[in-house]
Structure 1
């Protein structure tokens, strides 16, 4: 890993929170993600399962965390099982956690090798009544491969059919919803690295550069600052491509007169930044481009003010829609007749602003907490309105990441330029 490990107190506290929501005489099991294959003998880069990571900090494949708070022998109330290394693994794959390193990283005192798992688990299951198993229950998840968690569920239910099984996901969503100070610090680092990438790119963009060159500039700056790289596949979209919400080809030349939309973010310690900025390729916005840009910026600023404890995302999105409706009328894209005759289920503004404004952010870019529960202090959200006008080859989206506080928000991207005049000034100060 490139990043500096986070304070183990985070994981100790998270495990305490999870245990506090478990039924009595229950155990819980969390598995690492698989290393996924590509072709031949190739594999994808390993990305840890965010639930075991948030409970242990262990960023390594083939790891298992077992929690059994009520077990008689308290040394077995938390057990971390790790892949045991050997000389051959060390030569071909590199260093793996020692027991001492895992103990320091996680705060779990009982560390065992994976080869001991089945016999120890059998001992625990002989006493447990309830078993908490983990699955991906993200509201937008589409899981078409059999995960390590799924294989474990099948194995466990087959071997122990008479136990009472419970879902870990609702508890994990609750725990991960509110970020600790340690997590917010990691998110701030991710945002600060993203800022460095943006400033590098703002000085680089000019007519004739390609979208993939811009992507490369970001990646260079991210990795040199201890990020693994992009938090998600970057969108670097110039001209009409900016109207394609998930454009990731990034293969076109940026031309004079285009507006370049960049939805990129660095990850740090598995925590993710999610930024969108727009640059005039020529260094100056046209009058029309600036009008659209400033309309989006006004919606972003007003939407940010609505992120308050007690608000709920679906209601919030409806209110942001009203802001966007007003701006689109001002831009001449819709009129009062369109609004009067609109279908409430598909309001007129959706023609030019068809996505949501905010989502939870954390270990997942679209983080797991329940969108129907009230916002709380310590939650982290994106704010990302946009206006997309294909007939004008113009798409503008602006996005910052904010923490909900007791009486407002704290902007993690407060230092990343966003004002149109400041953007122009940076681009013309080369």
Structure 2
């Protein structure tokens, strides 16, 4: 079992000016590789504090991953501090220097003397290339710890970890392990936990849960003496999770967003979707088009915010709005059915509600949202009173409507109103 620590370097982190996403990403990546992460530290660009942290963590852990402080400015001091702790001089690497200058010139920038220091490394260090930026990383043995020093820019760090660090750590950690991420929607975390009772004991795995609106993540983690056994255990347990929760609840495996999963289901069934949005103002359309390829299943979204637009763009009778109000079951259904006629698609969702902070009444409070899904087989509508600020209500309404689309695709129409 290899113990590990993560050290993130930068005064902007200790001052709270920048969110430290590197630490959480690295902790998860190291855990997946079989390391046991016991410590995550943040230090400013201060030589004494950084040097003390490097020396201590190098003594206490098998693996140390550092990020930050490899830039061209005077406050980027990580390389110098590592060399000082090792008691070795810095040496300039001609190959790294040429790569840095070539990258700058490729992007129309004139190399500066300040950039040259990014080609300096502690004597004996193994250089880790950085194809995404100008700051190469390096690895050294810092006392007990196999130490990797990476840039602080997240996309650069992630790429270098995957390409240069992970292969080295796979050879360091013995045994096999496998983790499968399942993403669920539509059940609260407590109910997901209750339904999966006994799976850990039955399959020799551990389950981890994380709520990340609008999704509950279930991580299945298996360890064994070899990779094949761990993979088989994880796969069997993940299949059992799917069986207990159902296909509609477990909407994806891996890093797939909920709107993306709805789109994939539409593509698999050869269906196209349109939207009629009021209080969400096009948010559903935005969620559906965040990934490329949405044109395969998404026709578009009509944003009909005011009552006159609902009538002109969607054909909702003005008398219906006058009788029931714009935020009502009747208008939500009429919006969906009108949009389906105009788009000529298989499925349409509609949303109308009161996102606040003003506009609510005792009968129709802020947060009340009616939404509907119409297909050739009928129309299903639901309503809910969502809590939160305006942006939270809008986002929750958008995901609720997408959830209703998935439900109709799996189960068909209820053909009745539901709360």
TM norm structure 2: 0.26
Structure of larger gyration radius: 2
TM norm structure 1: 0.26
* Relative contact order, higher structure (CA 8 A, sep 6+): 1
